[in-house]
């Protein structure tokens, strides 16, 4: 146990994005002194933030974490509930597939920038949190308890008396790179062929151009388009496409042909001119998955959260939610070990690594599902079976999506429960097929074999006997 009382401790949180800002609030709430470092300047002072988008879809895990620092309601007010996916077919017909079984089970569309600004403002309210913008992490010396940063003017800035360094600095985490020098980290990063590009569906006549409370999906097997509603009645629209198709579309005609073939209604919503301008002025962005184990070094007093520890495909909308849940898990451990960092960091890592890996894998599978399966009948049947079973045995049978989005069941457990459900359904299917097969055979026997047999007996067998008798 640490002999120093925890409120006299100081931590450096690296990264002032969603995860870092929230994590700072967690430490702030417990009276720990926090230096929060962000590479870029304060987004609250900027006109436009380029890049970083894909609207966020906030669900249970993220909300519980926000609730821990008393800002769930504030955030929810700034979001738009989405109760269902809205599937756009090739022939422009649409049909919804609900996320849950009640209105209560929804996910919340929220603008990344607004969320980040709100969280930074929350962090600013704590007297024990100091935010340093334009600070680039350079090095960490756990023996001297000293971290070095470079500020916006390229000046070296040293921060001393730090009891721990918390890396919330995203997929290309500099803190993780430093951690890898202290610990033997198993690490992998994988790019998928799909890249993404954003478009905007502006309001029409001052109203949302499409059904508001939905996450719109145009699933087209190898690729897809999605759209999430914003408070200003626009939709943030994202095209996911293999890079070789992006590269093949070189002219305006090719681009419009492509949209005409695969997303005809989206041309109407986005506007031909906007599609062209946007496409030829932006660059497709890559998607990366990251796995890493462990998530900490006890001896070097380091821990990583969020994308730094587990970047994932955005298709389960769990990137942010899992990052926020990291804060909850870390603080469960900090509370359990009375803020002994070494023990809590180890505990967090032991709790979290397998679940991080599971959600990274699940996010990849959901990518396949969203772009492909959602348009298949088998998928719809499974959804209906899932929901039926959920209604009948709600404590025993929760659909995978609901477990991920509407509960805090650990991700690995969700994956395992889903695999068990698959097994049960498979057995069920085999039994049904067998019974149906037997029934069919019985019907076949009665309707086909029986008359044939009778006919055979009457025509071929009986005459022999009759003939004999006659003779």
Least separation in angstroms between CB 172 and a second copy: 9
Q: Quick one: 191 or 456, whose CB is closer to a second copy?
A: 191
- Report which secondary-structure segment, H or E, holds 264: helix 264-270
Q: Quick one: 93 or 184, whose CB is closer to a second copy?
A: 184
Handedness of CA 120, 123, 127, 131 (dihedral sign): negative
Least separation in angstroms between CB 116 and a second copy: 25
Q: Which residues contact 182 (CB under 8 A, 6 or more apart)?
A: 142, 297, 299, 300, 302
Q: Quick one: 190 or 350, whose CB is closer to a second copy?
A: 190
Q: Do residues 306 and 19 lie in contact, with contact meaning Cβ atoms separated by under 8 Å?
A: yes
Q: Quick one: 164 or 174, whose CB is closer to a second copy?
A: 174
Coil vs helix vs strand at 81? strand
**Tokens matching residue 270:** 């986005």
Q: Quick one: 167 or 294, whose CB is closer to a second copy?
A: 294
**Of the candidate residues 121, 160, 189, 376, the single one contacting a second copy (CB under 8 A):** 189
Site string for a second copy, 102-141 (x = CB under 8 A): ----------------------------------------
**Tokens matching residue 43:** 């987004």
- In angstroms, how far is CA 211 from the centroid of its own chain? 22
Residues 247-286 that bind a second copy (CB under 8 A): 286
Q: Quick one: 191 or 433, whose CB is closer to a second copy?
A: 191
Separation between Cα atoms, residue 114 and residue 236, nearest integer Å: 14
Residues 166-185 that bind a second copy (CB under 8 A): 184-185
Q: Quick one: 10 or 177, whose CB is closer to a second copy?
A: 177
Least separation in angstroms between CB 301 and a second copy: 21
- Interface region with a second copy, contact rule CB under 8 A, candidates 15-23, 76-84, 186-194, 385-393: 186-194
Per DSSP, the residues of 134-161 read: SEEEEEEETTTTEEEEEETTS-EEEE-S
Q: Quick one: 191 or 393, whose CB is closer to a second copy?
A: 191
Q: Do residues 404 and 312 lie in contact, with contact meaning Cβ atoms separated by under 8 Å?
A: no
Examine residue 191 and tell whether it contacts a second copy (CB under 8 A): yes
Least separation in angstroms between CB 363 and a second copy: 17
Q: What share of the chain is helix, strand, coil (3-state, %, to 5)?
A: 50, 25, 30
Least separation in angstroms between CB 191 and a second copy: 5
Least separation in angstroms between CB 290 and a second copy: 10
Least separation in angstroms between CB 158 and a second copy: 18
Site string for a second copy, 287-316 (x = CB under 8 A): -x----------------------------
Least separation in angstroms between CB 294 and a second copy: 11
Query: 413 vs 292, 356, 385, 394, CA distance in Å?
Result: 19, 12, 21, 17
**Tokens matching residue 451:** 């008359």
Per DSSP, the residues of 241-269 read: EEHHHHHH--SHHHHHHHHHHH-HHHHHH
Which residues sit opposite 21 in a β-bridge?
none
Q: Report the candidate in 314, 69, 36, 293 with the shortest Cα–Cα distance to residue 188.
A: 293
Q: Quick one: 16 or 284, whose CB is closer to a second copy?
A: 284
Least separation in angstroms between CB 173 and a second copy: 13
- Interface region with a second copy, contact rule CB under 8 A, candidates 12-20, 188-196, 348-356, 426-434: 188-196
Total chain residues near a second copy (CB under 8 A): 10
Site string for a second copy, 409-448 (x = CB under 8 A): ----------------------------------------
Query: 210 vs 224, 261, 361, CA distance in Å?
Result: 17, 20, 32
Per DSSP, the residues of 315-368 read: GGS-HHHHHHHHHHHHHHHHHHTTT-HHHHHHHHHHHHHHHHHHHHHHHHHHHH
Q: Quick one: 32 or 293, whose CB is closer to a second copy?
A: 293
Indicate the Cα dihedral angle 172, 178, 179, 180, nearest 10°: 80
Least separation in angstroms between CB 186 and a second copy: 5
Least separation in angstroms between CB 285 and a second copy: 11
Coil vs helix vs strand at 237? strand
- In angstroms, how far is CA 465 from the centroid of its own chain? 78
Q: Quick one: 116 or 171, whose CB is closer to a second copy?
A: 171
Q: Report the candidate in 71, 58, 45, 49 with the shortest Cα–Cα distance to residue 125.
A: 71
Q: Which residues bind to a second copy, rule: CB under 8 A? A: 184-191, 286, 288
């Amino acid at each position: 146990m640490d002999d120093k009382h925890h409120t006299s401790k100081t931590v450096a949180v690296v990264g002032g994005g969603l995860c870092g800002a929230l994590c700072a609030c967690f430490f702030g709430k417990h009276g720990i002194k926090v230096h929060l470092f962000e590479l870029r300047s304060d987004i609250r002072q900027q006109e436009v933030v380029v890049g970083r988008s894909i609207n966020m879809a906030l669900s249970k895990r993220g909300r519980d974490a926000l609730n821990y620092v008393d800002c769930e309601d504030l955030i929810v007010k700034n979001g738009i509930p989405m109760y269902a996916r809205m599937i756009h077919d090739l022939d422009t017909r649409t049909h919804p597939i609900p996320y849950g079984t009640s209105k209560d089970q929804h996910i919340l569309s929220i603008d990344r920038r607004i969320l980040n600004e709100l969280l930074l403002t929350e962090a600013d309210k704590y007297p024990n949190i100091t935010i340093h913008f334009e600070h680039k992490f350079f090095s960490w010396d756990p023996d001297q308890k000293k971290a070095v940063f470079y500020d916006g003017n390229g000046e070296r800035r040293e921060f001393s008396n730090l009891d721990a360094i918390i890396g919330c600095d995203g997929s290309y985490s500099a803190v993780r790179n430093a951690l890898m020098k202290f610990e033997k980290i198993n690490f992998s990063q994988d790019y998928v062929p799909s890249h993404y590009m954003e478009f905007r569906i502006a309001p029409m006549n001052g109203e949302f151009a499409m059904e508001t409370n939905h996450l719109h999906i145009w699933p087209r097997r190898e690729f897809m388009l999605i759209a999430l509603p914003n408070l200003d009645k626009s939709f943030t629209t994202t095209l996911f496409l293999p890079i070789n198709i992006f590269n093949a579309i070189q002219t305006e005609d090719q681009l419009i042909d492509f949209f005409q073939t695969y997303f005809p209604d989206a041309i109407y919503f986005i506007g031909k001119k906007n599609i062209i301008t946007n496409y030829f002025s932006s660059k497709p962005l890559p998607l990366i998955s990251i796995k890493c184990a462990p998530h900490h070094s006890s001896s070097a007093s380091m821990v990583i959260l969020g994308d730094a520890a587990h970047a994932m495909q955005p298709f389960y909308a769990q990137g942010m939610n899992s990052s926020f849940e990291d804060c909850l898990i870390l603080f469960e451990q900090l509370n359990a070990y009375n803020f002994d960092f070494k023990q809590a960091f180890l505990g967090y890592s032991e709790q979290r690594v397998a679940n991080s890996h599971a959600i990274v894998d699940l996010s990849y599978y959901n990518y396949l599902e969203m772009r492909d399966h959602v348009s298949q009948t088998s998928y719809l049947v499974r959804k209906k079976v899932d929901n039926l079973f959920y209604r009948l045995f709600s404590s025993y049978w929760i659909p995978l999506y609901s477990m991920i989005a509407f509960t805090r069941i650990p991700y690995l457990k969700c994956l395992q429960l889903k695999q068990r459900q698959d097994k049960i359904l498979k057995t069920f299917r085999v039994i049904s097929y067998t019974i149906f097969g037997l029934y069919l055979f019985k019907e076949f026997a009665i309707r086909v074999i029986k008359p044939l047999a009778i006919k055979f007996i009457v025509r071929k067998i009986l005459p022999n006997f009759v003939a004999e008798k006659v003779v």
